[in-house]
Amino acid sequence: MLTTFLQELRYSLRTLMAQPMFTLIAVATLALGIGANTAIFSVIDGLYLRDMPYKDGDRLAIVHNTYPKMGLEDAGTSIPDYFDRKTQAPSIEDIAIYNNVGFNLADAGAAPERLVALRTSASLFSTLQVQPALGRVFSEENEAPGADRVIVLSHALWENRFNADPAIVGRDIRLDAQPYRVLAVMPEGFDFPNRNVGAWVPFAFTPELKSANERGNEYSSSVARLAPGATLEKVDAEMAQIVRTNVEQLGPDIAGFVGATGFTGRARWLREYQVGETRTMLLVLQGAVLMVLLIACANVANLMLTRVVARQKEISVRNALGATRWRIARQLLVDALVLATIGGGLGLLLAKGSIAGFPLLGITSNQSGYDFRMDAPVLGFALLVTIVAAGLAAILPMISLLRLNIYDTIKEGGRLGSGGRRAAASRNVLVVAQIALATTLLIGAGLLLKSFHLLQSQDPGFRSDGVATALIDLPETKYVDGAAQARALEQIVDRLETIPGVQSAAYTSTLPFSGNNSSGSYSIEGLEVAEGTSPPHAMQRQVEGDYFGTMGIALKRGRLFDARDRADGAPVVIIDEFMAERYFPGQDPLGKRVRRGSSDPDADLPWATIVGVVGTIKHGRLGENVEKETIYWPVAQAPQSSGALVVKANVPPQTLNAAIREAVLAFDPEQSLFGVQTLDERISRSLNNQRAPMVLLGIFAVVALVLSAIGIYGVLAYSVGQRTGELGVRMAIGAGRSQILALILRHGAWLTGIGLGLGLVGAFAGGQAMRTQLFGVGGADPVIFLLVPVLLAAIALFSCWLPARRATRIDPLVALRHE
């Protein structure tokens, strides 16, 4: 058996080397299909199939609060809620609470560096079941104020900043000008919750933080390890019971709040939370590359069918000499395996290069520890695709050969040169399939392209051109109160405005398209909230300097903040048009008053007067529908230590990065900046989830179009070549060139029409599957469904016209001699 296979393999290699053009085209076609499938599968494998980088990661879940009646699905976790769930939810085996914190790391005279750390309970490490590579992690003893100046370093920070010095454990480093004792270094690959985090410090829980007054302050997140056999539904039910218990214990005010907002807890699997909503689009892309592979296999099958016809004399001689029909057909399978194996090898190189190039499309290794790499499962998938591709490419030629009456076919082929009606029918079927698949892909790409164009054309409500941005975090150990923070931000903004080329500068607590947000409940004087109705809830922003002018946010009514709006001035706010239209329809909102939090008239919270109305802006995505109002406060009256600097320039904003850093360092040599980007870059990055699928599907659709055009051209060109005698006879008895042209074009148009019809059906189904990924475009957009078939038909008919034109130039005498 092995000897026979080796003989067939050697024979296959000799015959393929004897036809280098056929071999090159077939290998390149299969390499495209196999490489594209492998590259997309590596993403699916990295995000969904590979084990998580934590022990028993499938038991880890994110636990958060939710307010369904307020439209707040993910509201974070408060500290009292964390302790409630830690002690009262039996389905939770272990749980941790954490939030991001930034430090200015300026150690041993080095330049200040922004360190993104995680402030977390000590239970994080037991919840994730991870041990340090060096030293020991902090314990619950470090959760007490005064005992929390300790730190655990990430492996990357330890290597890059401290030269992998094992003696760093036990030493102090300076964060925000304060000493922190290094307790441990985590193992390589531990990056929770993402790769931006460089260290972990203890959460110091004061009695005030644990008190009921902290309920509703949900600036933290929580991760839990569920008990064996526990489900998300069971955890949700237990958290709902905790809420009911608290309502009974804390009184009617809490009961009214819970009834009005629908407050409860929810759990989501950690993988789902980290990966996000990418599953549908990845499946669409995997389906798209599978179509490309099918088209590639169809092309190779067509080439092999043509080769079978060309080798009929050889095959008949082999059959006459005793070679069985099955052995001859098996040789075709070996040929296909050789072609697919070579194509698979090149496809792996193509897939590897594609994975390396994914960042150019905005597809990056997930920041939460998920990698795209050529590991064993991906290589196994590539091997499977290679074998399947070989089988698909060989099956029709093998069937055609097994059903072939060699002697009758030789007679028919000698007269008409078609290679047999069955072979011709097989080639036609393959071309129809190619056109159908290409139509489906092109329409899908067209839908995404139109969607992306509409998305890009959306007005965010501000002007992003010429604006540089940088994130800043003032350490509270150095700027100890709101007044100090407000003064520091005012002085920094003043320094930025002195930079040559800068038109204006400002500060905001939350920058649009930065991925951050801040929101909270508020009250409107005179507005009574009906029982069982949630209170108003708005996005809250603190700004300093000419923020609205710098961002190009239009003033619609009233005035902007000015020198009157200091800490000792009358409290004021600016609202957006959305809020004005929502709560003051047909009224002048100027002079109305709002305040944060409770509507209780006895609450010790100041009322702020509305002095201006500005345009409504989009904060997170160009495609979002604004459903929540925004309130702006002056920093002097509502201090904030962390946020973003924005600089409007009349020079390219990216050229100001160094000058912005120098201006901040001149104010405070230990203050770092991070996230330095233009506002245009931030908006562009927000479109990555739409841009990458559009580009990839567009590439696959173009490849499919080219392969389909080659396929239909090849079939008709071969048909014309084999029908030279027939066409000569027709012309000799009076057929004109236009009739010959029409004859060939009719054949091509018939194949194209059937393929387009089937493709439209497939495109409709694909459009319905992609509806959630489209913006402003239906899954059966009439423009795309009309233009794409017209374009494809034109290209297909041009591919038909080339061999048809050649047919009209046949000399009848030469053709008759050929016959």
Could you give the angle at which helices 688-722 and 782-808 cross, rounded to 10 degrees? 30
Backbone angles phi, psi at 205, to 5 degrees: -95, 105
Average pLDDT over residues 465-488: 89
* Angstrom distance (rounded) from CA 234 to CA 446: 44
For 774, the 3-state DSSP assignment is coil
What is the greatest pairwise CA distance in the chain? 109
- Judge whether residue 619 has pLDDT over 60: yes
The CA distances from residue 258 to 69, 218, 237, 363, 628, in Å, are: 10, 15, 16, 41, 20
- Judge whether residue 414 has pLDDT over 50: no
**Residue 602 confidence (pLDDT):** 52
Burial class (CB in 10 A: 0-12, 13-18, 19+), 666: exposed
Instruction: Please give the full DSSP string across 93-130, using - where no structure is assigned.
Output: EEEEEEEEEEEEE--TTPPPEEEEEEEE-THHHHHHT-
The lowest-confidence range among 55-69, 597-611, 657-671 is 597-611
529 residue type, one letter? V
**Residue 16 confidence (pLDDT):** 77
For 143, the 3-state DSSP assignment is helix
Neighbours of 564 (CB within 10 A): 11
Q: Please give the helix or strand (H or E) that residue 292 lies within, else none.
A: helix 279-310
* Angstrom distance (rounded) from CA 505 to CA 507: 7
468 residue type, one letter? A
399 residue type, one letter? I
Determine if residue 347 is left, alpha or beta; phi over 0 gives left, psi from -120 to 50 gives alpha, anything else beta.
Answer: alpha
Chain segment 539-553, per-residue pLDDT in tens: 999 999 899 999 999
Q: Please give the helix or strand (H or E) that residue 576 lies within, else none.
A: strand 572-576
| Long-range contact set of residues 144-148: C-beta below 8 Å, sequence gap at least 24 | 144/204, 144/205, 145/204, 145/206, 146/204, 147/202, 147/204, 148/201, 148/202, 148/203, 148/204
674 residue type, one letter? F
- Judge whether residue 559 has pLDDT over 90: yes
Helix boundaries (H) for 417-569:
421-456, 482-496, 547-551
Band of residue 603 on the pLDDT scale cut at 50, 70, 90: low
* Angstrom distance (rounded) from CA 815 to CA 417: 12
Determine if residue 103 is left, alpha or beta; phi over 0 gives left, psi from -120 to 50 gives alpha, anything else beta.
Answer: beta
- Judge whether residue 413 has pLDDT over 50: no
Compute and round to an integer the Cα radius of gyration of the chain: 34
Token reading at 543? 């700004």
* Angstrom distance (rounded) from CA 704 to CA 698: 10
Chain segment 769-803, per-residue pLDDT in tens: 888 778 888 888 889 999 888 988 888 888 777 77
Burial class (CB in 10 A: 0-12, 13-18, 19+), 783: exposed
Backbone angles phi, psi at 538, to 5 degrees: -135, 160
* Angstrom distance (rounded) from CA 644 to CA 675: 9
Q: With CA atoms as reference, report the closest residue to 706 among 284, 286, 299.
A: 299
Q: Which residues contact 703 (CB under 8 A, 6 or more apart)?
A: 32, 36, 292
DSSP 563: T
Chain segment 391-403, per-residue pLDDT in tens: 888 887 777 766 6
* Angstrom distance (rounded) from CA 654 to CA 585: 42
Band of residue 98 on the pLDDT scale cut at 50, 70, 90: very high
Band of residue 449 on the pLDDT scale cut at 50, 70, 90: confident
**Residue 412 confidence (pLDDT):** 47
CA torsion angle 669 674 680 686 (round to 10): -170
**Residue 644 confidence (pLDDT):** 93
* Angstrom distance (rounded) from CA 539 to CA 549: 20
The CA distances from residue 559 to 458, 547, 555, in Å, are: 27, 13, 7
**Residue 557 confidence (pLDDT):** 94
Query: Rounded to the nearest 5 degrees, what angle is found at the Cα of 711, between the Cα atoms of 705 and 713?
Result: 105
Band of residue 335 on the pLDDT scale cut at 50, 70, 90: confident
* Angstrom distance (rounded) from CA 266 to CA 65: 6
- Give percent of the chain above pLDDT 90: 34
More confident residue, 269 or 599: 269
The lowest-confidence range among 200-214, 227-241, 253-267, 512-526 is 253-267
* Angstrom distance (rounded) from CA 645 to CA 439: 48
The lowest-confidence range among 144-158, 193-207, 696-710 is 696-710
Q: Please give the helix or strand (H or E) that residue 152 lies within, else none.
A: strand 150-153
The pairing of beta strand 92-105 with beta strand 221-226: antiparallel
Q: Per this entry, what is the length of the chain? A: 819
Query: Rounded to the nearest 5 degrees, what angle is found at the Cα of 36, between the Cα atoms of 32 and 37?
Result: 120
* Angstrom distance (rounded) from CA 540 to CA 619: 11
Average pLDDT over residues 660-676: 87
* Angstrom distance (rounded) from CA 540 to CA 94: 34
Is there a contact between 482 and 566 (Cβ–Cβ < 8 Å)? no
* Angstrom distance (rounded) from CA 26 to CA 130: 50
Q: Mean pLDDT of all residues in the chain? A: 84
Band of residue 415 on the pLDDT scale cut at 50, 70, 90: very low
Is there a contact between 371 and 365 (Cβ–Cβ < 8 Å)? yes
Q: With CA atoms as reference, report the closest residue to 800 among 340, 428, 368.
A: 428
Backbone angles phi, psi at 396, to 5 degrees: -70, -45
Query: Rounded to the nearest 5 degrees, what angle is found at the Cα of 778, between the Cα atoms of 773 and 779?
Result: 70
- Judge whether residue 296 has pLDDT over 80: yes
What residue segments make up the domains of the chain, in order of their start? 68-262, 475-670
Does this model's pTM top 0.85? My answer is: no
Is there a contact between 618 and 458 (Cβ–Cβ < 8 Å)? yes
Chain segment 169-180, per-residue pLDDT in tens: 999 998 888 899
- Judge whether residue 103 has pLDDT over 70: yes
Neighbours of 24 (CB within 10 A): 11
Token reading at 646? 């924005």
